[in-house]
Chain A
Amino acid sequence: MDLILFLITAAVALIGAIAMLVSRNAVHSALFLLLNFAAIAVLFLLLQSPFLFAIQLTVYAGAIMVLFLFVVMLLGAEQVEDTPDRIAWQRPLAVALGVGLLGVAVLAALRYAPGIPPGGAAAATFGDPAELGRLLFTRYLLPFQVTGIILLIAVVGVVVLNQYGRSKAALKPPPGD
């Protein structure tokens, strides 16, 4: 039963990722990536991580994808790749290197080849969000506070970046206008 669920979800995740790669329209890419994120959230649930399932859906599929769609539509950047590629030899090389990377990664995954995860009483209570929260505020308290500072710096950085662009645009009109 678990295996069937995994195979269906993995197929959805792979289809979403490949469709994101090949679709010409950036809005379609964003929506296919959303499908992929949702599939990965379901895989988190299969791996007994209900907290990460919720975080994946709210932060990734919710906040981050809304930000992506907002910027794509704000800039009107749905289709910018209509000009011919300047470095055309790059694409076959990228595909060859990508296949090579996949081969190495599959070999590395199969070399260790972990089997069925252990069951038992410890596995039955694994992934409790309360336990995760306790770890966050005890053993990982310092990294937890550092993430707060990172988020603050990100907010300040976004504000500074946009002010810089605005003052420069006011001084000198962009080329082409």
Chain B
Amino acid sequence: MVPTSYYILLSAALFTIGVLGVLIRRNAIVVFMAVELMLNAANLALVAYARERLSIDGQVLVFFVITVAAAEVAVGLALLVAIFRTKRTTDVDEVSTLRG
């Protein structure tokens, strides 16, 4: 078996790449993808620890995270489409005002 710490290190690296994606990229859809990457990194750590402790509860938690992520993506992408209808852009710098 692979040591659990290897999985945790990989999860930390993936999470950092996701954070960098949110901070650096300006295309709102790519920012969204980076958020999904962070969720996946957290899921990987949860499954690794579930295997370490031989407790299947961690896998149940990952199941819930994936379900909520699916709902979040649907609502977020609908928001992006609504923003695009009024602003004609998906650049997050262009939608920095809260006025409609």
Contact = CB atoms under 8 A, between A and B. Distances in A.
B54 A118 contact: yes
A91 B82 CA distance: 28
A46 B2 contact: yes
Given A14-B10, A74-B81, A150-B67, A52 B62 contact: yes
B74 A155 contact: yes
Classify the secondary structure of B's interface with A: helix
Contact of B29 (A49, A68, A151): A68
A21 B27 CA distance: 11
Interface residues of B, number: 75
Interface residues of A, number: 94
A91 B27 CA distance: 14
Interface in B16-51: 16-21, 23-30, 32-34, 36-37, 40, 43-44, 47-51
Does more than half of chain A's interface fall in helix, strand or loop, or is it mixed? helix
A115 B4 contact: yes
Contacts of A91: 24
B37 A17 contact: yes
Interface of B: 1-10, 12-21, 23-30, 32-34, 36-37, 40, 43-44, 47-52, 54, 56-57, 59-60, 62-64, 66-75, 77-82, 84-91, 93
Given A14-B14, A40-B40, A174-B85, 17 more contacts: A18-B17, A21-B25, A33-B36, A37-B40, A52-B66, A63-B70, A64-B73, A71-B29, A75-B84, A81-B26, A90-B24, A98-B16, A105-B16, A117-B54, A153-B71, A154-B74, A162-B81
6 contacts: A6-B6, A26-B29, A80-B91, A98-B23, A102-B13, A154-B71
